[in-house]
Amino acid sequence: MPLEAPLPSAAERVAELNARTRHHSAPDVLAHALRDPLVGRIAMVSSFGAESVVLLHLVAQVDRTVPVVFVDTRMLFEETLAYQAEVAEQLGLAEIRIIRPDPVAVLARDVDNILHQTDPDACCALRKTEPLERALGGFDAWINGRKRYQGQSRTEIDFFETDDAGRIKVNPLAMWDRDDLQSYIVENRLPRHPLVAKGFPSIGCAPCTTPVKPGEDPRAGRWRGRDKEECGIHFVGGRLVRGGSSGTGSEESAA
């Protein structure tokens, strides 16, 4: 009996997937990602933030059973927690995996819940990056909401990338802009995060998110006053390192 050919590397699979979908629409890219064996076992990661409902709705149109990973950092706005439950029910999402930080690690590293004040990168690692890495351990790929218009290191992202752990990262909305997102929400009568109307166009943890003034960048309210734009810590070779947004992403990047 002939041996099966080994699966190509993640980088090779990503190159092939981008070649196959280069001119596809976001729904087509998503449908392809959920069905192509090159992608493998896949989950979606969602922050249930300001724009998350668009990608969640697109996923629900294809397959409501796709696991959706939601990281509850224990520092989220109450409005986000309520919105998560509302959207999941309205869209009929069958498998929401609510992931929380390890309570033992929190007691050891942030017993007073003030780590975000002294070392926000370490807080993001403890409360988001590490729980998310554990949650994605059984998957070959994950869907997120990163978009080129968000700037910084995202201006040239493709539909498919690799993350630092060797998984495939799927960005169906890479080519969409803010108007596309808002039009989709209106046309499909999707519920909006209640904090958007209060001046929060980008929503993360409550202690590190403030309203945005007219004319400011939509992410100006994230870690205001600090030299920080992303979660700031990701995995390389199984180790946590400080760096940019190429790893397991920021709150809004997750969709």
Active site residues per annotation: 231
Distance CA 159, CA 170 (A): 6
| DSSP-derived pairing of the beta strands 141-143 and 68-71 | unpaired
Nearest CA to 181 out of 202, 161, 209 is that of: 202
In which residue are the tokens 């950092």 written? 73
Torsion angle of the four alpha carbons 162, 165, 168, 171, in this order, in degrees rounded to the nearest 10: -70
Name the β-bridge partners of 209: 222
In 10 A of CB 229, how many CB atoms?
18
Side by side, the strands of the sheet bearing 96-99 are 96-99, 68-71, 42-45, 141-143, 168-170, 160-162
